[in-house]
Amino acid sequence: MKKIDVPLKNALKEFLEPYGFKKVRGRYPYFVKVINDEIIEVITFRNLIGMGYLTIGGLATVYGREIDFSMSPRDNGDWIDLYDGGVYECLKAENGGQLDIPEPHYPLIEPDIAEEDFQQAIELAVNTVRDVLVPAFARVTDLPSCVSFYRQFSGSELTLSPEIKDNEEGLLNFLVYEDVEKYQEEEMITWEKENKEILERMKLGLARYTQEDYENDKAERLEYAKEQIRLFTEQRNSPEVLAEIEYRKNLNIKRLKEQKVI
């Protein structure tokens, strides 16, 4: 079996360092960029046992889940999940179905890859990071742009829960949106955008929806949006929210310092 992890780690390190990413000390190949001591961008790869190595990326903040780079990329897979295809498709939809970069394949480097294909596979993984993940991450400069990133690429991260401690990155809503009206406006913009995207996929034959399916889905998503607005309205001035924000921030900054990330 070909030793893949070391050459892939070295190639990513060489490519990512000029973009401000640095390798986290430890056994796992995490390349991390921290913005304003509160936003964490990560690029790494996973060993899909028996299948090969897959390059992935993720975004987190100190206001979300506990950040632990002593865990493997697999165990952190609940947030380091921005596979190249998903981000690419979102970018493509944003640009009316056209992009100036080739359509990527998942940069899966198979364990039994032939020697003559090995370097090409490494280059494909790095090029996918260059063409898809790095430009997507470049949009994030502060918390408002971080929320915009989530809304485009991973909207479920911002979901508000009745139990405040169950929020993942949902607490960002309380830091970014100044009032209920602005939050409500953004929720409805997202709902309308999803309606248009589904209709477009139906028109192109890419969504197996009947008109009835579409109407049912549209109604369900509207109810979800209304519930999110209700939770935001109820929780926004809660002392529990403020305490949870402060607790998570202090915990994660401490952990990032311990792990020499900041």
H or E element in which residue 58 lies: strand 52-61
Q: At what angle do helices 211-235 and 180-203 cross, to 10 degrees?
A: 160
Percent with pLDDT over 90 in the chain: 59
- Size of the chain, expressed as the number of residues it contains: 262
pTM, two decimals, is 0.89
Confidence of residue 190 (pLDDT cuts 50, 70, 90): very high
Q: At what angle do helices 5-16 and 115-128 cross, to 10 degrees?
A: 40
Averaged pLDDT, 185-210: 89
Q: Do residues 62 and 70 lie in contact, with contact meaning Cβ atoms separated by under 8 Å?
A: no
Examine the pLDDT at 1 and tell me if it is beyond 50.
Answer: no
Exposed e or buried b per residue across 66-91, where buried means at least 16 C-beta atoms within 10 angstroms of its C-beta:
ebebeeebeebeebbebbbeebbebb
Examine the pLDDT at 84 and tell me if it is beyond 60.
Answer: no
Confidence of residue 55 (pLDDT cuts 50, 70, 90): confident
74-83 pLDDT tens trace: 899 888 876 5
CA distance linking residue 76 with residue 68, whole number of Å = 8
Confidence of residue 206 (pLDDT cuts 50, 70, 90): confident
- Worst-scoring range by mean pLDDT, 90-104, 147-161, 178-192, 196-210? 90-104
118-165 pLDDT tens trace: 888 899 889 889 988 898 999 999 999 999 999 988 888 999 999 999
